[in-house]
């Protein structure tokens, strides 16, 4: 099964979409667990009374928690939106590559990707 020169741009586009998807997925989990670890560590310190905060500072901490929550949800929503766009683009590129390589419609390569 040889690939023609007009398939090379499709391969390139598919690889770039996949690479972006994987990079975002890696960063997504690092950021999520980093934020959760920060919140958990501070909360444990507060619960065990290793750190005593004044009511004003405790209010600021609650405000920071709210901001972290909104920022994390917004970030996750943006990542998921971009990942969905990449998945749709990769599905279309996969279909074009299969057509160009003349892979039968009932092939496992096509079926597994649907």
CA angle 65, 68, 74 (to 5 degrees): 140
- What totals of helices (H) and strands (E) does the chain contain, helices first? 3, 0
- What share of the chain in percent tops pLDDT 90? 15
- What share of the chain in percent tops pLDDT 70? 91
Residue 2 in this model has a pLDDT that exceeds 70: no
Could you report the per-residue pLDDT of 6-63, keeping only the tens digit for each?
Answer: 778 888 888 888 898 888 888 888 888 898 898 889 888 888 888 888 899 989 988 9
Could you report the per-residue pLDDT of 74-99, keeping only the tens digit for each?
Answer: 998 998 898 899 888 888 888 888 88
Residue 5 in this model has a pLDDT that exceeds 70: no
């Amino acid at each position: 099964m040889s690939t023609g020169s007009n398939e090379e741009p499709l391969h390139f586009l598919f690889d770039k979409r996949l690479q972006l998807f994987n990079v975002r997925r890696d960063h997504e989990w690092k950021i999520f667990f980093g934020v959760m670890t920060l919140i958990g560590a501070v909360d444990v310190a507060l619960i065990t009374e290793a750190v005593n905060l004044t009511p004003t500072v405790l209010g600021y901490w609650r405000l920071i928690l709210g901001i972290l929550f909104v920022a994390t949800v917004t970030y996750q929503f943006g990542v998921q939106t971009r990942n969905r766009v990449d998945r749709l683009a990769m599905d279309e590129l996969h279909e074009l590559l299969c057509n160009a390589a003349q892979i039968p419609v009932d092939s496992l390569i096509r079926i597994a990707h649907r």
